[in-house]
């Protein structure tokens, strides 16, 4: 054993020379690695806040975030949200007309006034500013209702409060909160979040809007353009991000740093373009916003000068959980539409539900719903419990929810056939509206890099701790011995961690064992990639994307396991059905994870990745398809 430990030490010394302390630079949104700043760089490896998703990259199981399945709402909080459900559903059934709003490409004043009366413009704002002061999980339950009826009005509401004035709520000082929140909460004024520009989408650090301190020292002069801003043509108050000359205390060099500002339309110099013509979410207002020598008082800096990137990313991270909850509500509605049609439509003398191809679609939709809902409420409840390390899990919820919503809508339309294709069924509206959810608030491609790069850095940090131990092998003999035992057990196929198996209900222990095995394989795979690529792993997007997919499946499996375990232990009437959903999902997700982990080290897959690059390069050079037509012309 000691011999194998010494051998491991030699390997790791070579690893750390290659890794060069693994400095992944800046990655809150996992934008190109020149602008990466990970959320884990200053956090401990383990502890009560330890992320389950990040731990899996190091082959570790941090079960405290999921077992028992989190439930942060007390009885009073549950009663509060129960009382809000009927009024919100009644508003969508009797007041708001989503189909007409879609045709009008605008939300009626009647609907906006109805939302104001419901308190829908300030759902999470403290009561002292006039808000409802809902917890994240309560808010998520309302997101389910909103998405069930109209995603477009959800964008209007979210652009106003989830991101529009969320920065004031998170980073505003007391004067800023007292000045702005009451009128925003009442709906007397509307808010918008102004980040995206023509030359910068996911790469938020590359924005060109500038703010320069005026000679009087009392104002910043703001100039620039923002595009595709939700509520851009309606907003009275905007959270605007601009580059500001910045000099740190330990340097004479002046650089440009992103800074957040609270900007009022009434400051003058703020204009907007016409509403964009969009594929979906047509009733929401989307417009370009222009800033021409806008005088912004210095007291309207949000947070600190130079901290705008952090402000923007934390606003997005904080609001991302709501999308998963909304998608779970939408998927539930789509399943109801699908099963209603399948139970009643007769073809070839049999109801559609009697055909196995339809049964498979319905079953997969239900399994997907259980997974999306489990992840969404695990994340929101953990946020309500005060867990600080949830950013990767929130990104997982957004990716899983948006892609599952799209796929479920597609299958619903397929089950309904020609009926589903007609406008009257409303499925085509949801399909058009859904497409944007994989793009905004961090494209799913970028979020996959965010998930993977944060996870890989976590694993690198763990290995750096091992490096420190190897510098003093005698005093750290216990640590090195444990590592040797761990690797020996892995080599002969014995699990190093029984935590999930012990926490799972007896009926689910086989599923828990599969998840445990996949997590241990995950840790080994990431370690191999770090040994091979070192810090250059940040450029290996073929690999990172597949690691992210593995991470999404691993975290979702664990969330599903925890929820089904709770149902069984509490003897819920749905426990047997939840067990069936959970075991089936885990079986399939475990297989996907195994394939994804194998693909990042398999020679054939690596050859194919190289081929992808070659093919794309050749098509890029030809500016289109690089083959001749079958007819030659």
Which of the residues are catalytic?
A: 441
Contact in structure between 185 and 125 (CB atoms under 8 Å): yes
493 Cβ partners below 8 Å, 6+ apart?
none
Helix residue ranges, H only, 385-443 = 391-416, 418-421, 427-434
Q: Give the number of other Cβ atoms within 10 Å of residue 355's Cβ.
A: 14
Rounded distance, CA 429 to CA 330, Å? 12
The answer to whether residues 390 and 382 touch, using CB atoms and an 8 Å cutoff, is yes
Contact 560, 374 (CB under 8 A): yes
Neighbouring CB atoms inside 10 A of 364's CB total 16
Q: Give which of 240, 239, 226, 237 is closest to 287, Cα–Cα.
A: 226
Other CB atoms within 10 A of residue 57 CB: 29
Token digits of residue 450: 């965010």
Beta bridge partners of 291: 224, 270
Residue 289 and residue 229 in contact, taking contact as beta carbons nearer than 8 Å? yes
Residue 372's CB is within 10 A of a number of other CB atoms, namely 29
**Run of H or E including 192:** strand 191-194
End-to-end CA distance of the chain: 69
User: How far, in Å, CA of 489 to CA of 141, rounded?
Assistant: 44
CA angle 318, 321, 325 (to 5 degrees): 150
Peptide bond into 68 cis (omega under 30): yes
**Rounded (10°) angle between helices 541-569 and 356-384:** 90
Closest CA to 563 of 68, 88, 128: 68
Q: Supply the DSSP symbol for 234.
A: T
Cβ contacts of 96-103, under 8 Å, gap ≥ 24: 96/149, 96/150, 96/153, 98/149, 98/150, 98/152, 98/153, 98/283, 98/426, 98/429, 99/423, 99/426, 99/429, 101/150, 101/152, 101/153, 101/282, 101/283, 102/152, 102/282, 102/283, 102/429
Please give the Cα distance from 532 to 368 (Å, whole number).
Answer: 35
């Amino acid at each position: 054993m000691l011999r194998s430990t010494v051998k491991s030490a030699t390997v790791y010394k070579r690893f750390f020379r290659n890794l060069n302390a693994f400095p992944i630079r800046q990655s809150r949104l996992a934008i190109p690695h020149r602008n990466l700043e990970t959320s884990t760089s200053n956090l401990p490896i383990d502890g009560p806040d330890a992320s389950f998703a990040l731990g899996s990259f190091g082959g570790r199981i941090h079960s405290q975030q999921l077992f028992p399945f989190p439930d942060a709402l007390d009885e009073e909080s549950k009663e509060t949200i129960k009382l809000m459900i009927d009024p919100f559903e009644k508003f969508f059934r009797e007041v708001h007309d989503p189909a007409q709003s879609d045709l009008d490409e605008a939300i009626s004043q009647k609907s906006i006034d109805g939302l104001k009366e419901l308190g829908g413009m300030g759902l999470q704002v403290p009561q002292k500013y006039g808000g409802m002061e809902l917890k994240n999980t309560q808010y998520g339950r309302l997101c389910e209702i909103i998405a069930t009826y109209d995603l477009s009005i959800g964008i209007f509401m979210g652009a106003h409060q989830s991101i529009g004035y969320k920065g004031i709520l998170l980073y505003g000082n007391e004067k800023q909160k007292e000045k702005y929140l009451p009128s925003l909460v009442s709906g007397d004024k509307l808010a918008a979040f102004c980040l995206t520009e023509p030359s910068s989408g996911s790469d938020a650090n590359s924005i060109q809007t500038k703010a320069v301190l005026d000679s009087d020292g009392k104002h910043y002069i703001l100039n620039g353009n923002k595009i595709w801003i939700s509520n851009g043509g309606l907003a009275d108050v905007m959270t605007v991000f601009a580059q500001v000359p910045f000099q740190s205390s330990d340097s004479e060099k002046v650089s440009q740093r992103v800074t957040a500002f609270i900007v009022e339309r009434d400051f003058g110099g703020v204009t907007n373009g016409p509403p964009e013509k969009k594929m979906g979410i047509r009733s929401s207002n989307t417009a370009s916003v222009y800033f021409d020598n806008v005088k912004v008082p210095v007291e309207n800096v949000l947070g600190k000068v130079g901290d705008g990137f952090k402000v923007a990313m934390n606003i997005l991270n904080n609001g991302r959980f709501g999308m998963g909850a909304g998608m779970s509500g939408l998927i539930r509605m789509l399943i109801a539409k699908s099963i209603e049609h399948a139970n009643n439509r007769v073809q070839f003398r049999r109801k559609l539900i009697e055909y196995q191809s339809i049964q498979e679609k319905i079953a997969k939709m239900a399994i997907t719903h259980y997974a999306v809902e489990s992840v969404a409420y695990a994340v929101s409840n953990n946020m309500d419990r005060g867990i600080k390390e949830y950013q990767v899990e929130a990104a997982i919820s957004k990716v899983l929810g948006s892609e599952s919503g799209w796929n479920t809508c597609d299958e619903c339309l397929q089950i309904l056939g020609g009926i589903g294709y007609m406008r009257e069924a409303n499925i085509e509206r949801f399909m058009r509206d859904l497409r944007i959810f994989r793009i905004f608030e961090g494209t799913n491609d970028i979020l996959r890099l965010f998930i993977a790069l944060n996870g890989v850095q976590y694993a690198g940090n763990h290995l750096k701790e091992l490096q420190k131990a190897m510098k003093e092998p005698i005093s750290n003999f216990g640590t090195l011995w444990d590592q040797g035992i761990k690797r020996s057990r892995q080599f002969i196929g014995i699990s190093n961690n029984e935590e999930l198996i012990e926490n799972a209900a007896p009926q689910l222990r086989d599923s828990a064992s599969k998840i445990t095995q996949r997590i241990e394989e995950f840790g080994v795979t990431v370690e191999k990639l770090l040994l091979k690529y070192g810090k250059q792993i940040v450029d290996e997007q073929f690999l990172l994307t597949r690691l992210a997919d593995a991470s999404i499946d691993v975290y979702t499996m664990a969330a599903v396991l925890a929820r089904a375990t709770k149902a069984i232990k509490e003897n819920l009437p749905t426990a047997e059905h939840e067990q069936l959903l959970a075991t089936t999902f885990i079986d399939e997700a475990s297989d996907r994870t195994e394939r994804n982990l194998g693909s990042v080290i398999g020679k054939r897959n690596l050859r194919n990745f190289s081929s992808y690059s070659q093919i794309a390069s050749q098509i890029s050079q030809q500016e289109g398809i690089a083959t001749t037509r079958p007819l030659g012309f």
